[in-house]
Amino acid sequence: MKRKSILAATVIFLVILAAGCIGCRLFVKNYREVKTYEAGEKKVRSVRFSKPFLADHFEITIIKTNLADSLKNDSEILLNKEEGAEYFVIDVKVKNKNSGSENLPNSGKILLGEAEYMLEIDSAKIDEPGYGSFSEQIKPEETKESKIIFKIPTEYGDEAIIWDVFGSGVKIRLQ
């Protein structure tokens, strides 16, 4: 009788221990999973949308991306449709994790395509609040949102898109 209760207690303990290890691994894996791989000679990270990752002093969360022919803001047209071009839009949330106010120097660049056919494109400049890099400093623990716009050739719309996050050197694959 005593032997059965010790055996049952041991089995229960091992099951609880295994469940705890699996749950811990799942939590850590889902929070900030960042995979690194090579794209030509560049190290590129793969991140999950809606999951924060660090780039310099900032915690970046990519909310969504989309490809559009033109860009409108409420009733105003910000960027007209152009022959042979599309606009790649990154909706992003930025949080300053530094102890002092910081400024984002620029929106970064995107790399399109693979190997010798890779293009490097700067962001489109739009003088509208909520678009592009932030002109003012971001205070510690302050969060701001923006839409980063890149004008890309139509023939590259289905190619790999890698973003150099705000010029920080952290490169992530978006498509």
- Within this chain, do residues 155 and 131 fall inside the same structural domain, yes or no? yes
Q: What's the CATH number where 133 sits?
A: 2.60.40.1240
- Do 27 and 38 belong together in one domain? no
**Total domains in the fold of the chain:** 2
Q: Is the pLDDT of residue 95 over 70?
A: yes
- Do 61 and 92 sit in the same domain of this protein? yes
Are residues 69 and 148 part of one domain? yes
Span 78-105, mean pLDDT?
85
- Lowest average pLDDT, out of 36-45, 153-162, 164-173, goes to 36-45
Query: Looking at the structure, do residues 103 and 163 belong to the same domain, yes or no?
Result: yes
Same domain, 26 and 48: no
Judged against a pLDDT cut of 60, whether residue 126 lies above it is answered with yes
What residues contact 148, with CB distance under 8 A and at least 6 apart?
A: 89, 90, 92, 107, 108, 123, 131, 132, 133
Asked whether residue 67 falls in the same domain as residue 129, the answer is yes
Which pLDDT does position 172 carry in this prediction?
82
Partners of 122 in the β-ladder: 109
Higher pLDDT, 17 or 107: 107
Cα 32 → chain centroid: 11
Residues 113 and 63 in one domain: yes
Torsion of CA 14, 15, 16, 20, to 10 degrees: 100
Reply yes or no on whether the pLDDT at 92 is more than 80. yes
pLDDT above 50 for 147:
yes
| Residue found under tokens 């691994």 | 25
Percent of the chain with pLDDT over 70: 78
Q: CA separation (Å) from 98 to 52, 60, 61, 117, 158? A: 15, 13, 16, 38, 36
Q: Which candidate, 40, 33, 63, places its Cα nearest to that of 162? A: 40
Q: Are residues 86 and 137 in the same domain?
A: yes
- pLDDT tier at 73, thresholds 50, 70, 90: confident
Please give the structure tokens belonging to residue 91: 């909706």
* 24 and 50 fall within a common domain: no
Measured from the Cβ of residue 172, the count of other Cβ atoms closer than 10 Å reads 19
Confidence of residue 132 (pLDDT cuts 50, 70, 90): confident
Domain encompassing residue 113: 34-173
For 148, which DSSP code? E
Same domain, yes or no, for 141 and 66? yes
How confident is the prediction for the chain on average, in pLDDT? 76
| Residue closest to 47 by CA, chosen among 62, 65, 67 | 62
Using one digit for the tens of pLDDT, what is the confidence trace for 22-68? Answer: 554 443 333 333 444 444 445 666 677 778 888 878 888 889 888 88
Same domain, 8 and 42: no
Walk across the sheet containing 85-96 and list its strands. Answer: 53-55, 58-68, 85-96, 143-153
- The pLDDT of residue 14 is above 80: no
